[in-house]
Structure 1
Amino acid sequence: MGVDDYLTKPIDYDLLLATVETRLGQVSRIEERNRNRLQAIHAQILKLKSARGAIKVSMVTDMRQLVAPINSALLELGCEVRTVSEGALNESTFDPKEDNIVFFVCSSNVQRYLNDLKAQGTRKSETRFVLLAAPNMSDGAREGFLKSGIDDIIEYPYKPVEIFKQVVDHLRDPEAAAGSQLAS
């Protein structure tokens, strides 16, 4: 049920205080560990970026506010970021050939676009396609997107570590990163 601890009645307030302080300490340690991980990834990205140049990233969504924090973080890393509406997929005005990474927010329009792109055989293999999915995506939907050309899937909430990992993977080896199919 997710219980970390319990106290029995009658409540000993000194024990209650000590228990709460212990739990808060655990949260602080976890936050510090995650902060250190992000700083290490950030440093690695900047080091790799200096050798390869700016990474071109597109965010395909009609919900700009959903990806705004991701855009900000990627811009801070020195990526060139553009946000593209799903309408551009329908109008055939979106061309991912110049992008290194494309993040698609999950939708039926995105899946249709990916299936069309796969059928035409015009996808640039060095461009990494990442789906930003709703939480608890079904296995069938996951498999359908992977078959349509998605390289990786990140479920909501989109953790910065998972987004930055895409950038690091590209910087390490863009061709190997685009060729792998990871199901996370």
Structure 2
Amino acid sequence: MRKQFALAAIVVTFIVIAFATLSPLSFRPPVIFTVNTDRFLAFAGLVTLVVIAYPRRLRYALIASFVLPAALEMMQALSPTRHADLADVLIKSAGGVIGCFVGLLVVTMGRRIRRRIEQKNSRRRMQLFMATAKTTELAVQSRMIQSIHFSPTDGKLLLRFSDGRDGLFEGVSRAAAEAMATAKSPGQFYLEEFKPRFQRVA
């Protein structure tokens, strides 16, 4: 849904830019700030939306920041009331480049915020689990895993790793929990057998 909304915003923004660039002067939208400022902000906004919607296509967005303004300016040569100008291309391209950086900044900040929220929710779920669940601590000897706490009533298992991380899994059977605790290499068992099989919820 978000991607569809972003795509719709990109299409609408591009249509507005194309109309303002290629339409006769009598139909051109009114200037909001200055002509050059409006051009810069229009392409900055367009490319920002593209990068936010498709962050893995940053390279293509950067290329489009130069190709699209040049193509639109060349198309202006076909209009009797408009003319192509290299300065306009440079201004619009600069806006596109800035849009790439702004979009990348928004994406990066968004990921960090989501990660912090997920970590906070994860800690809350683990604290609630330790406070309410009747767990059994299974003895384990591992450099990777510090302790294993298993709740047989609901099949949840809390792993405390040696590096300070925690992992909460659900749908775990007692046999699987004991198999990891008694494995020759519990860390390797976790990576190869346990982690791919059971769902991590926190």
TM class, shorter-chain normalised?
0.3 to 0.5
Q: Calculate the TM-score normalised by the size of structure 1.
A: 0.36
Q: Which has the larger radius of gyration?
A: 2
The structure with the greater share of residues assigned to helix is: 2
TM-score by length of 2: 0.33
